[in-house]
């Protein structure tokens, strides 16, 4: 009887028109896994935003999938030339040619074009949940020296100031030698984190398949103009 009711509801035209849209995912989650820093980047244009005092309307932001290192620039207009120049200058020339580019999102405020550097600094020096490390440490092999550590010297600053030039060079060499191991540990944490996300996401998946000739109800929404790049 339950099956008959379900079958009847599926064929009810009024139900098809007025029922809530199905928001359950169709496919399992396919997380992007980067095996090493700067191998895969996420890229997105954010905006249009409130015009800044410098006339900027957009933020072009990118994030390295592995280290979570971020780069961003303000833009007055979005053109393919601007995006290509950003990728060339801020990614390829600095970190090499990535094997993958995808979209990632960011936010900001009225004077954001002047504060992007501050936001990037805070992001790069904050521990990211997937890797349990800061992007700065995974890129350079050592934690960044914070301004507060110069005003109120921390233990590591006090130790480094007492080192000779030779001892300081030896310490830096040890940090760089340990960087590969640190990155491997971060990769393992990242894979575990993505596995947990996939497991939670896939519980909500409701597979739906269609064949040629099947009748479907298509929802047609008005076209909304957004910040698409010019062709």
Residues 6+ apart with CB under 8 A from 118: none
pLDDT score recorded for residue 85: 82
Residues 57, 77 contacting (CB under 8 angstroms) = yes
CA distance 26 to 126: 34
How is domain 22-141+178-202 classified at the CATH fold level? Nucleotidyltransferase; domain 5 (3.30.420)
pLDDT digits (tens, 9 = 90+) for 54-93: 788 888 888 887 777 888 888 888 887 888 888 888 777 6
Structural domain spans, the chain? 22-141+178-202
- Which secondary-structure segment (H or E) carries 115? helix 112-124
What does the alpha-carbon distance between residue 125 and residue 127 come to, in Å, rounded to a whole number?
A: 7
Q: How many CB atoms lie within 10 A of CB 186?
A: 21
pLDDT digits 0-9 by tens, 106-149: 344 455 566 667 777 777 788 888 888 888 888 887 777 776 66
Asked whether the beta carbons of 28 and 201 are under 8 A apart, the reply is yes
Q: Tell me the angle at which helices 165-177 and 179-202 cross, rounded to the nearest 10 degrees.
A: 40
């Amino acid at each position: 009887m339950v099956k008959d009711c379900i079958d009847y509801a599926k064929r009810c035209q009024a139900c098809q028109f007025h029922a809530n849209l199905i928001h359950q995912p169709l496919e399992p989650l396919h997380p992007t896994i980067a095996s090493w820093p700067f191998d895969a980047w996420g890229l997105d244009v954010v905006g249009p935003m409130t015009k800044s005092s410098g006339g900027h309307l957009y933020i072009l932001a990118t994030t390295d999938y592995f280290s979570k290192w971020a780069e961003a620039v303000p833009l007055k207009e979005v053109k393919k030339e601007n995006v290509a120049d950003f990728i060339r200058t801020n990614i390829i020339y600095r970190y090499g040619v990535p094997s993958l580019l995808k979209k990632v999102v960011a936010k900001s405020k009225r004077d954001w074009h002047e504060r992007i550097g501050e936001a990037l600094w805070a992001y790069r020096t904050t521990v990211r949940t997937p890797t349990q490390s800061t992007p700065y440490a995974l890129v350079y092999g050592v934690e960044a020296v914070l301004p507060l550590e110069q005003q109120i010297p921390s233990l590591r600053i006090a130790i480094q100031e007492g080192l000779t030039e030779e001892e300081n060079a030896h310490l830096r060499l040890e940090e760089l030698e340990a960087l590969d191991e640190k990155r491997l540990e971060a990769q393992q944490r990242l894979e575990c984190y993505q596995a947990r996300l996939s497991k939670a996401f896939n519980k909500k998946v409701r597979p739906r398949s269609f064949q040629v000739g099947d009748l479907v109800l298509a929802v047609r929404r008005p076209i909304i103009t957004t910040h698409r790049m010019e062709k």
